[in-house]
Structure 1
Amino acid sequence: MNKYINKYISIADFLAEVLGSNTEVILHDLTDYQKSIVYIVNGHISGRKIGDSITDLMLEFILSESKGNKQFICNYNSKNIEGKLLYSSTYFIRDDSNKIVGALGLNSDYQEVKNSLSFLTSLLPNYVDDKLSSLNIIKENLSSDGQELTLNKIDTIIDQFNVTPTRMTPKEKTEVMKALEECGIFNIRGSVQEVANKLAMSEPSIYRYIKKIRT
C-alpha cells in the first residue's frame, strides 16, 4: 500500500461506521491495477475482497481525465457481480505531482428503498421521477474478475473503430494499442494474450506494438 493511501484507512472506517452496513467503503491502490483493492469494509455489498482488481470506471477515468484536477465523481450507478444495482461515489487520491495513485469508493445498496419507492409510485400512475428512470444506466462494473474487466475494456476500445479486427490496418491497430496502453490494460496480468486473441494476432506481434508505442 503506497503512503498516500494509508492515511485514508481511518477515514474509511469512519465512513463505514456513519453510513452503516448497506454501504461498502473501499480503498484502491492504483499503483497495482491487478490487486488494487487494499482495504474494504462491508465487502458483501459488491462481493469483492482485498487483492481484487481495478474497475472499468477507474481505468476509464485514468485514460480520460487523470491529467486534470477533478477530485471526485458522485452519485452514479454501478452493479455488483450478481447484477444488483448500487449507488456509488469515488474520491480520487493524488500524489504530490497530481497523479492519481488511489481512490476511496462508496457503494450503497438501496434495493429495499427502491422497492419501497416502486410501491409508492405504483399508487401514482402519472408520477415520473427522472432519477428513478436513469437507474439502469450503469457506469461501473464492480467485478472481482480481472480477466472480465480486461475483456470488457478491450471490447470497448475496439468497438470505437467500427471495423472488425481482421480488417484493421496497421495504423488502426497502433491506435488500439495506444488506447490500451494509456488506460493501463497492459499492466494487468494476462492482458497481452487476451488482446492477441481479440485482434487475431500473435503475442510477439502485440509485444512489438507495445515496444514501438513506449519508445
Structure 2
Amino acid sequence: MSAEEQDAVIAALTPVVDGIVATLGSFCEVVVHDFRRPENSVVAIAGSVTGRAVGGSMSEIGMGLLARGDEATDELNYVTRTPSGKLLKSSTMLLRDPSGTVFGALCVNVDITAVNQAHALIGELAGVTGATAVPTTTFGNDIDSVVDAIVDSHQLRQNKQWSELSRDERLGLFRSLDEQGVFAVRGAAQHVAERLGISRASAYNYLARARNGPEGSVPDGSAPTRTDQDGVHS
C-alpha cells in the first residue's frame, strides 16, 4: 500500500470519530493516530477526555506499540489513569496495510471515573474491598511531555539519580526507554540527555550499548562535569 493509500484510509476514518462520540456521549474520546509522524500523530479527534487536539502527540501506550513495529497487536479494554486522576478504559486498534505494515491506530478512551467511584461506594456498602493499582499514562499535545513522564517514571522506580546508577542500571534504563518507543521520536535522544543531565554523545553511546551489547563505548564516570559541543552537561 502506497503512502497515498494509507493517507486515504486515515482520511476515511476522520468522520468515524465524530460518529462514535455522538453515539457514546461526552465521556468518550476517539482518536486517529498516524504512526508515521509520532511527534504529531493525532490527525483526527472527537471528545475531550484527554485534552488533546489535532497535531498532538501519541501517548506512552502508542509509543510502545510503535517500538514493536509490525509485531504489535491490538490493545483492547485496558485501564489507565491520567496524571489528573481520570480513570480511562481504552482500546487501541492498529491500522495495517495488506502487507501487514502498521501505520496508524484508531483509539477509543472512555472516562469511567464516575463509574469506578460508584462501584467503590457500592463495594464499601457491601463490605467488599479489592482496589487494584492502575498505571498512570501521560496524554499530551507535546511529545516532550510524554518522553519526560516515561524518563521520570523510570527514575522514580529506581529511587536514584542518574549519578547514583550503576552501569548496568544505566544500560537497563536506556534499554527500557528504547523498548517503550522513546527513541523512535525525532530528537528524543537529545531530550532524554537533557532530562538526565548528560551529554547527547553519552546518551547515544548508552543507547548503542543497550541495543548491541558489550561492543558499545560507554563513559565510566558516574558524575562527569565537562560540557560537550551541544552545551549539555555530562
Superposition TM-score tier, normalisation by shorter sequence? 0.7 to 0.9
RMSD: 3.4
Secondary structure of the corresponding residue to residue 76 of structure 1: strand
Decide which of 15, 23, 31 is 1:26's aligned counterpart. 31
Secondary structure of the corresponding residue to residue 148 of structure 2: helix
Matched, 1:60 2:57: no
| Partners of 2:56 and 2:141 within 8 A in 1 | yes
Distance change >3 Å, CA 140–CA 174, structure 1 → 2: closer
Distance in 1 (alpha carbons) for counterparts of 2:157 and 2:85: 25
Distance change >3 Å, CA 123–CA 155, structure 1 → 2: closer
Decide which of 172, 194, 199 is 2:191's aligned counterpart. 194
Matched, 1:83 2:88: no
Q: CA deviation at 1:34?
A: 0.7
Q: TM-score, normalised by structure 2?
A: 0.69
The one-letter code sitting in structure 2 at the alignment partner of 1:152 is: A
Number of the residue aligned with 2:11: 6
1:141-160, aligned counterparts within 5 Å? Answer: 141-155=138-152
| Partners of 1:35 and 1:53 within 8 A in 2 | yes
The one-letter code sitting in structure 2 at the alignment partner of 1:55 is: S
Distance in 1 (alpha carbons) for counterparts of 2:152 and 2:206: 18
Length, aligned pairs only = 205
- Larger relative contact order, structure 1 or 2 (CA cutoff 8 Å, min sep 6): 1
1:167-206, aligned counterparts within 5 Å? Answer: 169=167, 180=177, 183-188=180-185, 190-206=187-203
| Partners of 1:79 and 1:142 within 8 A in 2 | no
- Unaligned runs of 5+ residues in structure 2 are 1-5, 213-234
Q: Percent sequence identity over matched residues?
A: 26
| Partners of 2:82 and 2:136 within 8 A in 1 | no
| Partners of 1:81 and 1:143 within 8 A in 2 | no
Distance change >3 Å, CA 155–CA 3, structure 1 → 2: farther
Partner deviation per Cα, 1:32-84 (whole Å, 9 max, x = no partner)? 111111111112x1111111111111112333x433362x2222122335221
Q: CA deviation at 1:109?
A: 1.5
| Partners of 1:87 and 1:107 within 8 A in 2 | yes
Decide which of 50, 54, 57 is 1:50's aligned counterpart. 54
Secondary structure of the corresponding residue to residue 7 of structure 1: helix
Distance change >3 Å, CA 13–CA 210, structure 1 → 2: same
Distance change >3 Å, CA 162–CA 95, structure 1 → 2: farther
Distance in 1 (alpha carbons) for counterparts of 2:190 and 2:12: 37
Distance in 2 (alpha carbons) for counterparts of 1:4 and 1:185: 26
The one-letter code sitting in structure 2 at the alignment partner of 1:149 is: V
Q: CA deviation at 1:139?
A: 5.8
Matched, 1:16 2:21: yes
Decide which of 112, 115, 118 is 2:120's aligned counterpart. 118
